[in-house]
Amino acid sequence: MSGKRRKSGGRKPFNPKQMRVAESLFDAKSDDTPSEPAAPEKQAAASSPERYTVSQLAALIDHALKTSLPARVTVVGEVSGLKDQTHWYFRLKDAEAVVDCVMFASSVRKQKFTPRDGEEVAARGRIEHFARQGRTQLYADRIEPIGAGALELKFRELCDELRERGWFAIKRKRPLPRFPRRVAIVTSKTSAAVQDVLDTFRRRSPFIPLLVADVRVQGERAAPEIAAMLRRLSSEREALGLDAVILTRGGGSMEDLWAFNERVVAEAIVECSIPVVAAIGHETDTTIAELVADERAATPTQAAMRLSPDREALLEQVEQLRGRSQVSLARMLAHEQQRLRAVVRHAILSDPGAVVRESRSKLEATNNALGNAVTSRLHQSRLSLANTTSAFVRTRPEAVLADRAARVREAHRRLSGSLGALLERRRAELRERERTLEATGPVNVLRRGYSVTVRSDGRVVQSHTDVAPGELIETRLADGQIVSTVGDYAASAPDQHPVQDDDADLFENS
């Protein structure tokens, strides 16, 4: 069987030539003129010489399926040979026939139910003939379980929903009372389960009153009755004095227990103001009522034991507590008697005067010790004061200030003498430099008949090449300046009496 899906919904386009062959097979009319249907023997005689290729025969089969069957059919049968290879390949069978089936991956992903071999299902899809492998098979797009399988699927879907709502969470469930005042039993009054619960309470806790709330536990009307009874018990809790509820019934098939898998029952348990213990069916059975209940018990007897303290165990505990209390009381009395005897033997009761004398002796000793301590402390304080006074006299402020003033005056005298001598030396040096400057200054040089010539920018003219014809120059003398214009000039021999080096340096620096 090919895993590739054909286009156009899996249907192969029909050839007009093959259509004519099909018409001749199912309708023996002439292609040119209409006529009445031929007799069966004439049809056999007319068609017996016909020959078909395999492709033509496959087309005839496909056409027959399309024209004689509905576009979609639902087939009920038992699953066999399921192969999960992205697509599902399987067979549906009953006691007399087998049909090949395939479900493509796009439909598989939408399925909430995965069939298994041996399960009875209803597969819905179209019938087509796969010519390449010569198979006529059902192309299914939906599969649903039948009977117990359908109930199982519904059970799982409701479990997923309630789990997401937090109804199964442990933190939502309430603790059970240790010593309930009264317990209600929600079940059928004729069931074996109610007798098991009653017998257990009579044996373990006959002092706890019970209330049997009779309801249907099987059938279509069972779930509404159970939910209504739980809501009634919850609303009348205080009036009835109820502290716990047992919801129970005996074993049975999944269909028999289905009332306890209904959403209305689960919601009534969650909203009930009384803690609920559920024990439905056998130990291997699991219902939604048990999953949302505050506690689940494997059997009705176990549910009763969970809410009924054992009388014998309680009596044993009382006896143990009584024994421990008697021992504890005897020990306490013996201890108090011993304390009383010790008090009676105490001196304050046997000889009160001795107690007074002893107290007076202690008071006198304390008074003497206190006087000695005061005298010693006073002597030490006087010595400390004398030492402090002597130290203060040695370090009085007047003496300290006088000593510091004398030191300052001596330092001032020494500093004044040093500064005077230094100042006199600096004055002598200054007078000596003034005399030197006066003797060698440029003004004195000019007074001796020399002059200096400068350009307009203030630079000294040292050579005839420093000026150009027509340029203004200034000649500085000892008693004034002469401004002139440079005319033609010629180089001349050096003077026989050049300026002394010292005087030249002065002119250049000026």
- 286 and 201 in one domain? yes
Would you say residue 78 lies in a domain? yes
- 303 and 156 in one domain? yes
- 183 and 294 in one domain? yes
Hey, what amino acid is at 404?
Answer: R
Q: Mark which of 122, 145, 168 sits at the end of a domain.
A: 145
Would you say residue 428 lies in a domain? no
Q: What local confidence, expressed as pLDDT, does residue 148 receive? A: 55
- 228 and 92 in one domain? no
- 299 and 186 in one domain? yes
- 178 and 115 in one domain? no
- 109 and 190 in one domain? no
Q: What local confidence, expressed as pLDDT, does residue 198 receive? A: 92
Would you say residue 346 lies in a domain? no
Q: Which residues pair with 137 in a beta bridge?
A: 100, 128
- 157 and 139 in one domain? no
- 220 and 111 in one domain? no
Tell which residue, 62, 132, 125, 47, has the closest CA to residue 92.
125
Q: What local confidence, expressed as pLDDT, does residue 417 receive? A: 82
Q: Mark which of 145, 171, 201 sits at the end of a domain.
A: 145
Q: What local confidence, expressed as pLDDT, does residue 440 receive? A: 73
Would you say residue 412 lies in a domain? no
User: Contact 221/206 with Cβ under 8 angstroms?
Assistant: no
- 24 and 128 in one domain? yes
- 156 and 302 in one domain? yes
Q: What local confidence, expressed as pLDDT, does residue 330 receive? A: 87
Query: For the chain, what is the domain count?
Result: 3
Q: What local confidence, expressed as pLDDT, does residue 36 receive? A: 41
Tell which residue, 45, 20, 42, has the closest CA to residue 32.
20
Would you say residue 18 lies in a domain? yes
Distance between CA 244 and CA 249 in Å, rounded?
17
pTM: 0.42
At 55, which CATH number? 2.40.50.140
Q: Mark which of 280, 309, 338 sits at the end of a domain.
A: 309
Residues of the chain with pLDDT under 50: 1-48, 496-510
Range of the domain at 105: 8-145
Would you say residue 351 lies in a domain? no
Would you say residue 159 lies in a domain? yes
Question: What's the pLDDT tens digit per position in 149-197?
Answer: 667 777 888 888 888 888 888 888 999 998 899 999 999 988 888 999 9
Return all residues near 18 (Cβ < 8 A) that are at least 6 apart: 55, 56, 59, 60, 63
Would you say residue 295 lies in a domain? yes
- 300 and 180 in one domain? yes
Query: What's the alpha-carbon Rg for the chain, to the nearest Å?
Result: 66
